[in-house]
Chain A
Amino acid sequence: MNHGTQALVEVRDLTLRFGGVTALADVAFDVGDRQICGLVGPNGAGKSSLFNCVNGYYRPSGGSIRVGGVDVLSVPAHRMVRLGIARTFQHPTLQPDRTVLDNVLLGGHSTLSGTVLSAMLALPGERRRERALVTRARELLDSLGLAGVERTSAGDLPYGSQKRVEIARALLSGPRLLLLDEPASGLTHSEVGEVGELISRIRADHGLTVIVVEHHMGLISAVTDHVVALVSGRKVAEGTAQAVQSDPVVVSAYLGAA
């Protein structure tokens, strides 16, 4: 299916319920290694819920998720980032009073070691590791076009830049799988195009697998290898962006939602 590449992500029969609400019902799909998979569907389709299951924040009621052969449902949520799963949030979730650099550095949390005591005493090893992380964070900020604002408070940045800071933060953990939740929502037309280029470039530079949730069909068509469409928690179509966009069930779901 996925152009013959081996699957990095395998989702099987995934079901998630909140009381009476079924957010996901028997969802199954694969994402090939180093592929970009688009996840589309109207509001409330279950896209963000799916991300929350893949990174362990929600525990599904049934089904399985494997990433790189590891059953992620048996891994505690705070260990996901060490498995190489990183995400951005639909609404920029930054520490508004901290600088952009600090916000990005948070993404390196799982790559650092050291005890409270060594941190309080600012021991040489601690300082060296921190400096190395700052260097990597600056490189990422540079490559994402954020070099000039590293000392600005994150809360003072325009919306589009905040979304980039989220991406930089996710990349600093050194992920294999990047989950992007609506990276282009709320952006201007030209910014949407830039985000598309950015996603392709990130995949190439970091050798990543990406799952991207987006409502901008232009962006989905431009960057994805493969698209999964959800409607009311069910997978209703899968294939190339073009095929999914012209799928009658998807079209009517979007018309119904609009």
Chain B
Amino acid sequence: MSVVVDEPAVRDGGGTSRRRHGRTLTAVALVLVFAVFPLFMSPFANLQVTLILVYAVAILGLDILVGWTGQVSLGQSAFFGIGAYGVAAGAVHGWPVWAGLLLGTAVAGVVGCLVAIPAARLRGYALGMITLTLPVVAVPLAKRMEAVTGGAQGLNVTIVQAPAWTGLAADQWRYYVVGVGAAIVFALAAALRRGRFGRAFDAVRVNEALATAQGVHVTRYKVLAFTLSAVYGGVAGVLYVVAVQFISPETLILTLSISMLAGLAIGGLRSLLGCVLGAAFYVVVPNLTGSVSAGQSYLLYGVCLLVVMLLMPRGVAPALGHAVRRVANRRERAAASGE
């Protein structure tokens, strides 16, 4: 009994400020490590981290839809493609990058909203099937619209080059640009989640009668989540072109959508850290399995996926959080009993 009563007191008492302190220190350390990383690492390693951040943004968009609002989508690769082609085609026609960014994300958002209006009335499999058509249509469309998309060859671009005064190599500069871009959209999503919209999305997921009774228009919020999710997919596509300077129809295939969903599940829903970890899994594990056995790479990747999901069914980030909390609680209890 006393354990049950003591628990909240421990959690809310003196430990909180110490824990907040620890969290600030961890954040500062992470930013520092992140900032100096590209200066010492190989161009390949830098590209890997850059790509992790790109996919983390796309997975975060998916999390808004799946994790926050309880919907599902197999269309994220199409929005990724819209953003990527927006900035790449713009660059080919001599537009500045910001104009391509605006165009790509705006089109992604509009398409997302248009798909969402009928889709928001569906759920589960039906919604999955509708969104499945997005990449299925997007890939041949990208191949056909040669004048804009360069057809099956795709588009090579040269954008976001390192200014001479920085003395940075291309991979290092792109790393920083994508890093700052990802940090900004992560911060925006975090702010959204903390406030009334985040609570409303949660309510829609937990119980529609509950959401409605609080004044949340359920359909409108589902459409909003879908739109935001598409915009994040578009932003990720733009960052992708910044990272690799190339886009082709092969990139938007359904497999990417599925991998993003898998990444979200691996990392853990409703966690910013989870989005990054899920993206890291998607980028790093195929490289590892490929180096173990080139022929069996996909099979091994699937096995890794299964093993992680069996060991941590709610994802890596929640499992980590749980472990950290347990250690911290034990330490605080030990400190309390030592007094």
Q: Is the CB of A80 within 8 A of B192?
A: no
Residues on the A chain within 8 Å of B218, using CB = 78
Closest A residue, CB atoms, query B217? A78
Within 8 A of A (CB), among B5-59: 8-9, 11-12, 16
Q: A98 to B200, alpha carbons, bound, how many Å?
A: 12
Residues on the B chain within 8 Å of A169, using CB = 214
Known contacts A97-B270, A102-B199; is-contact A81 B210 (Cβ 8 Å): no
Pick from B199, B207, B212, B217: contact of A105, CB below 8 A.
B199
Binary B-proximity of A59-99 (CB < 8 A = 1, otherwise 0): 00000000000000000111111100011010001110110
Q: Is the CB of A119 within 8 A of B12?
A: no
- B60 within 8 A of partner (CB): no
Closest B residue, CB atoms, query A148? B8
Q: Is the CB of B192 within 8 A of A120?
A: yes
Closest B residue, CB atoms, query A96? B206
Pick from B8, B189, B215: contact of A82, CB below 8 A.
B215
Known contacts A57-B213, A78-B218; is-contact A116 B199 (Cβ 8 Å): no
- A247 within 8 A of partner (CB): no
Q: A97 to B218, alpha carbons, bound, how many Å?
A: 20
Instruction: Tally B residues with Cβ within 8 Å of A.
Output: 30
Q: Is the CB of B8 within 8 A of A86?
A: no
Known contacts A93-B207, A121-B188; is-contact A152 B11 (Cβ 8 Å): yes
Chain A's nearest CB lies how many Å from the CB of B211? Answer: 8
- B202 within 8 A of partner (CB): yes
Residues on the A chain within 8 Å of B270, using CB = 97
Q: Is the CB of B202 within 8 A of A95?
A: yes
Q: Is the CB of B8 within 8 A of A95?
A: no
Closest A residue, CB atoms, query B211? A78
Closest B residue, CB atoms, query A86? B213
Closest A residue, CB atoms, query B202? A95
User: On chain A, which size bracket covers the interface?
Assistant: 35 or more
Chain B's nearest CB lies how many Å from the CB of A5? Answer: 26
- B209 within 8 A of partner (CB): yes
Residues on the A chain within 8 Å of B195, using CB = 114, 119, 122, 126, 130
Q: Is the CB of B214 within 8 A of A81?
A: yes
Q: Is the CB of B215 within 8 A of A79?
A: yes
Q: A102 to B200, alpha carbons, bound, how many Å?
A: 11
Known contacts A57-B212, A77-B212, A149-B8; is-contact A109 B196 (Cβ 8 Å): yes
- B216 within 8 A of partner (CB): yes
- A173 within 8 A of partner (CB): yes
Q: Is the CB of A152 within 8 A of B189?
A: no
- B228 within 8 A of partner (CB): yes
- A252 within 8 A of partner (CB): no
Closest B residue, CB atoms, query A57? B209
Closest B residue, CB atoms, query A120? B188
Q: Is the CB of A152 within 8 A of B212?
A: no
Q: A79 to B319, alpha carbons, bound, how many Å?
A: 40
Pick from A55, A82, A106: contact of B203, CB below 8 A.
A106
- 5 additional A-B pairs beyond A55-B213, A76-B217, A120-B188, beta carbons within 8 Å, are A77-B213, A107-B214, A119-B191, A151-B16, A152-B12
Q: List 10 A-B contacts (CB under 8 A).
A: A98-B199, A98-B202, A106-B214, A122-B195, A148-B9, A149-B8, A151-B12, A152-B8, A169-B214, A173-B215
